[in-house]
Amino acid sequence: MKGAIFDLDGVITDTAKFHFEAWSQLAKEQLGLVLPAEFEAELKGISRTDSLIKILEFGGLRDNYTEEEILAMAEKKNGYYLQAIETLTKEDILPGITRLIGELKDHGVKLSIASASKNAPAILEKLGLLDEFDAIADPSKVANGKPAPDIFLAGAKAVELEPKDCVGVEDAVSGVAAIKAAKMTAVAVGDETELAQADVVVPTTADFSYALFEKTWEAAK
Ligand code: G16
Ligand code: MG
């Protein structure tokens, strides 16, 4: 294993609740919709505009808005989201992640971010982790979002590694599918049944370790 390519939301920090709150505020104010709680999980790993399209489809409103109006609403949601993440600090790093980063670096493993979020650099900065990563793949430069492999392939390329030498780390079904489509080893955190496509699934990020990643990569390669 030469590289570890990380998803951000749900793996390094839990921003899903802030996304959901921001979407809920937008849906209420602009669309008169109340989003069901399941949307928090359903929007994980899904890009900003694709998330809004899902919400519009849920409300039967997909054809009521022009592309321009959709972009303006997505921008408004991002404003609410940015306000919410202002409060993030290193206390919001998920359990075990700081230790894991240290272990991987001690073993010379390159670290890269493959997040659908255009706010990834800002979030990492708030968490005090920006300098720990060798690269952050730019989601605005890839053609297809997760479950397509593009962002994980870009994450590996950014640290000049081949996908087969990398482990991808995810919490979302679409993200695990993206890792497998990229032909990388998939380490996942969350529900074992839901994330069965991964090479290993652990219940919490505290269970992540260099040893687990290396062992899983060896067995899967
Ligand atoms: C994250 C979240 C998604 C969000 C997406 C885009 O993905 O899970 O809910 O819609 O980023 O975020 P932004 O609006 O900040 O560009 P990931 O890939 O980090 O799990
Ligand atoms: Mg995620």
User: Across the 221 residues of the chain, what is the mean pLDDT of every consecutive 10-residue run?
Assistant: 97 95 98 95 89 97 96 98 96 98 98 97 97 97 95 98 98 95 98 97 98 98 85
> Is 207 annotated as catalytic?
no
Bridge partners of 189, per DSSP, are 202
pLDDT of residue 41: 87
**What pLDDT shows up at residue 44?**
87
On whether the CB atoms of residues 189 and 205 are closer than 8 A, the answer is yes
ipTM, two decimals, is: 0.92
- Tokens for 174, please give them: 């679409």
What does the alpha-carbon distance between residue 110 and residue 5 come to, in Å, rounded to a whole number? Answer: 8
Q: What is the pLDDT of residue 45?
A: 85
**Cβ of residue 46 lying under 6 Å from some atom of ligand 1:** yes
Task: Write the single-letter amino acid at 118.
Answer: K
Specify the pLDDT at position 141.
96
- The finding on whether 13 has its CB within 6 A of some atom of ligand 1 is no
Ligand 1 midpoint to CA 193 (Å): 23
Q: Is 78 in the pocket of ligand 1 (CB under 6 A)?
A: yes
Cα of 13 from ligand 2 centre, angstroms: 9
pTM metric for this prediction: 0.93
Identify the helix (H) or strand (E) that includes residue 6: strand 3-6
Residue type, 24: S
How far away, in angstroms, is 103 Cα from ligand 1 center? 26
Q: Is 106 considered catalytic here?
A: no
106 is in an annotated binding site: no
Q: Which atom of ligand 1 is nearest to the CA of 114?
A: 18
Alpha-carbon distance 145 to 46, whole Å?
A: 7
Distance CA 197, CA 129 (A): 29
Predicted confidence at residue 115, as pLDDT, reads 96
Centre of ligand 1 from the C-alpha of residue 200, in Å: 23
Asked whether residue 117 is marked as a ligand-binding residue, the answer is yes
- Which of 19, 129, 176, 195 gets mutated to test ligand 1 (max ligand atoms within 8 A of its CB)? 19
